Chain A
């Protein structure tokens, strides 16, 4: 008998995603069934290009009901189940070959979910998405629905094709947070025995930053699911450990972690978490050992929930930190470097590496290392290093980082804005004006770019233009910053009065002035042009503004306290590096 595969999916307002999804299954499936649950956009127009089997289903707060409705309308003997924001990755496998050579009646397919840290990497999971079109395979669960086999048959695990989830922006993640909470709570109450749902509710609370509410659900889900599939039980396990860690129940977390190692051998994520826990306890030597085991272990078995990097760059980053803490900066450097090699897009080790060099060998050497190692060709590393230089009070070196990146890399609005700001504060206001004026009006950086552009004009002694720029800002939206810029301009030119109202157009003058003051304090020109008294005049003006209100005064005081403590910390950190003293 010839195998026929049908894609069955449910959609609502997916006009943006649907095309990519349906294109990706072309040649892999023989038919498409689409069930719409109430779109108000062009979803159905897109769908019609690919299939005429489009049905409407009245939404009933039950995902499974909708999905099963779709499956029941599918012909053929195999069902592929996808979401609209998923697609098959070309070249990763052939569904037809898979079903023709099938030894099982249902298969889990690899599912890649972008890690969301801008690294372009994915966390891989497995999901049951390919199964025989039979009564025994139906979705269950009103939410976090999953295909369930009432016959309890064996499920195969396929290496491909790979399903890729669409990249989710942080904003979208935020929007979706808590969306399912009401429904989840309802179904959990209805079915308190369903461990999977308990886990889902716990995870939902975790994602909303409420570990205290999550903990009982996660505990129960993990404890009661001993015999269940490792796919979601390991997810519950890791979520539970995370939850206990943020709750500072470190002993219990450690216990859970170590106990689970017997049930799930070769599970790098557990070794990694164990290292993390020891690190939390400041027990750096054992932490090092566990991180080492995680790296040595490599990728865990496919059915375990795995977080990308726990077996490589995350563990290596942890190792670097531990090496630093026990006073072995050289080994720390090596570990951070390896972490970056494993995943150049995960910039955190770059930050640690930077601080290690910055504190230990000084800013000049830090820049040299990053240059010589070619790290600044990577946008996120270049931005990280530049930002750290800037905050340390070295805008010139920050500018250098971005300049080096731009030698080979593409410019964008964030780079232009930062480059403009760094140039201005490193004694090159002319360059600053140039870069800042290239920041496009529709982007997020525009208001700040306008403000710094005005500051650059003031530093360049171009008072007339500065006034013009400030008036333009006033007309657009940023009245408070415009007001401040005008006042400062007059003060610098003629020593004008600096009394300001507490708020301008509803915005707090003190906080606007403070932000500017904090960054202008970092002023450091490249060369020995120490006649740049205008920058100090600007700071003087800002200080007068800040002292004009008790709120401003307070933020000024807090600023210096912060600087003092930050300096103190850096110094202690610096002095601890290489401090491992032989036990005589």
Chain B
């Protein structure tokens, strides 16, 4: 006999999600029951369209009552319950039927993948949930929120009751930031759950759920307290331990988080997530050696059991990424590069690793090598190609950047973002006609039209064609340019020599971004005077917040003297380790050893946790030692002492 499955759901205003859910379940279940608790959107009609039997149940503030109402009309042998923001993954329908056929269990837990994060940067992570059980009258939900049914099932049978539904996967989209930010929902949940706890103060699982809601609401310390209380009752459960660690982490208490992670490792010595978090905490505490060991341990662990609900990437790209960061702290760039490569190989969508790789490859200086490395990855979507191009462009590697933008153009077509970028690359390499040819394809009405105009203005400004610049500026004004862009574009109406110094710009965020991008591009073209002109058009206060960033850009583009000026200006206002460090780096390279030493020392005094500051000082002394030895050998060629010393130095 064929085993029948009923899908039972409760919904309210789920018009956005319900079709996806019901479509995914169609082949998997034999009937669909949807209980609506008061939708005012098209949820009900969509459900009917998808072939569901729809019922209504007036909302009474109790999730269990609604759930149980959805069970009443079910005729299947098994009940599957899902939320509207969930769906069954592709292979699940077949697997679901295999699981229930000839089953000896009363219910099943199912693997669920939660998709977290904003769109475009989605970070999936795994968990397991109880969602499938035999349809028996005794099995009914309990609890006003986080309604549970497992308790009821266990009370009515004394066999081992639950299994894992092999091959079945639920996808859950409800944690996407746009949804999770829905404060009303969190507050509603918190309210219900607190009332429940007042009624059942000894229910530790309720406390666990309270902790989860508090965590989502951003009340990390309060959440940690509830989790710890829950742990007293239900013992160390893997996710509970991880939650406690995460609470302290997010509350900015790394010592406590580390302590909890270490305690957790005692219970779950194979749980990768705990090593990952321990490693992260050690990084926060600047204990890099230990951090490295924890992260290496995390990546060395075997595949995690489903019930650990291990986060995606802790045994892979995440840990590799942070290992790369640690290596960078010790100036071990070749190792760092290896780790970043491993990270990107594990997850080719992980943009931070890509950024680091490009940074370390110094594509402006060594385009060949960068190309060799990047070729190892197939960035197949236009989006991916755009991203790689963007990163390369920002590093001043316009040649290879163009290659990636052109690949994206093949997919995106004319007058697209990729085209705009390609035109920018041409400008950077002074192929002005070619760039204008592309930019002319952007017409009014195109959302990138203003950007195209700005680039055109840049082209003419670079050639000192004031009339053209003026015309373009009028064109911009006629097409609804923002105040911010207008101000930046306005700077192109003067030449650096004649620049009007009396009027200073106070840009907002958009203007600042635009301006910094322009400065960077000008430096990338060796147009230092123009870059400095743009910078000095800022009002001093706006500039002061940008000094370090600007200096770094100057330094990246081999404008050491300009960078030194900016850094000195910065230090006259406020001191910080990074500014001293960068200044020391530039002075060291320029041969001002003792002065560089002074700034390394100050940097370390301000931020003693940064190994780079120490290491560079050692490096400085080592270089001075070797340089002086060489100098001495040239000056006193007959003196064997120096000859012997340098041989000794070479061998040691």
Interface residues of A (CB under 8 A from B): 361-365, 393-394, 397, 521, 523-524, 528, 530, 536, 539, 547, 550, 553-554, 556-557, 560-561, 563-564, 567-568, 570-571, 574-575, 578-579, 581-582, 584
Contacts and interface: CB of A to CB of B under 8 A. Distances in A.
Given A524-B598, A557-B625, A571 B641 contact: no
Contacts of A397: 605
A528 B635 contact: no
Contacts of B572: 528
Nearest to B641: A554
Contacts of B571: 528, 530
A364 B618 contact: no
A130 to B, nearest CB: 59
A557 B629 contact: yes
B643 to A, nearest CB: 12
B628 A560 contact: yes
Contact of B262 (A363, A563, A568, A582): A582
Nearest to B615: A571
Contact of B594 (A539, A567, A570): A539
B617 A523 contact: no
A528 B575 contact: yes
Contacts of B639: 550
Contacts of A578: 287, 290
B625 A393 contact: no
Interface of B: 262, 265, 269, 287-290, 293, 297, 568, 571-572, 575, 592, 594-595, 597-599, 601-602, 604-609, 611, 614-615, 617-618, 621-622, 624-625, 628-629, 631-632, 635-636, 639, 641-642, 645, 649
Nearest to A358: B608
Contacts of B606: 364
Contacts of B608: 361-365
A560 B618 CA distance: 10
Given A364-B606, A530-B598, A564-B621, 20 more contacts: A361-B608, A362-B604, A362-B609, A363-B604, A393-B597, A523-B598, A524-B598, A528-B575, A530-B599, A539-B594, A547-B635, A554-B642, A557-B628, A560-B624, A560-B628, A564-B625, A571-B611, A575-B289, A581-B290, A584-B269
B625 to A, nearest CB: 4
A567 B614 contact: yes
B575 to A, nearest CB: 6
Given A362-B608, A557-B645, A536 B594 contact: yes
A550 B265 CA distance: 61
Nearest to A357: B608
A434 to B, nearest CB: 24
Contacts of A524: 598, 601-602
If over half of B's interface residues share one DSSP class (helix, strand or loop), that class is named, otherwise mixed; here it is helix
B547 to A, nearest CB: 13
A365 to B, nearest CB: 7
A561 B289 CA distance: 26
B489 to A, nearest CB: 36
Nearest to B290: A581
B150 to A, nearest CB: 34
A581 B609 CA distance: 19
A553 B632 contact: yes
Contacts of B601: 393-394, 524
A356 to B, nearest CB: 13
Nearest to A570: B614
A553 B602 contact: no
Contacts of B635: 547, 553
A570 B615 CA distance: 10
B372 to A, nearest CB: 34
29 contacts: A362-B605, A362-B609, A363-B605, A364-B608, A393-B597, A521-B594, A524-B602, A528-B572, A530-B571, A530-B598, A539-B594, A547-B632, A547-B635, A550-B642, A553-B635, A556-B628, A557-B625, A557-B642, A560-B628, A564-B618, A564-B622, A564-B625, A568-B618, A571-B611, A571-B618, A575-B288, A578-B290, A582-B262, A582-B265
List 6 A-B pairs, minimum CB-CB distance, nearest first: A362-B608, A560-B625, A564-B621, A567-B618, A563-B621, A528-B571
Contacts of B287: 578
- Between A361, A563, A570, A579, the greatest number of chain B beta carbons within 10 A of the residue's beta carbon is seen for A563
B245 to A, nearest CB: 16
B594 A550 contact: no
B632 A554 contact: yes
B618 A536 contact: no
Given A393-B597, A536-B595, A567-B621, A581 B615 contact: no
Contacts of A363: 604-605, 608
A578 B287 CA distance: 8
Given A521-B597, A553-B635, A536 B605 contact: no
Nearest to A533: B595
A560 B604 CA distance: 19
A561 B618 CA distance: 10
A554 B625 CA distance: 10
Contact of A561 (B575, B597, B614, B625): B625
A394 B598 CA distance: 9
Given A554-B641, A557-B625, A579-B289, A574 B614 contact: yes
B594 A579 contact: no
Contacts of A567: 614, 617-618, 621
Contacts of B614: 567, 570-571, 574
Contacts of A554: 632, 641-642, 645
A510 to B, nearest CB: 13
Contacts of B615: 571
Contact of B605 (A394, A550, A571, A581): A394
B495 to A, nearest CB: 32
A564 to B, nearest CB: 4
Contact of A553 (B597, B611, B636): B636
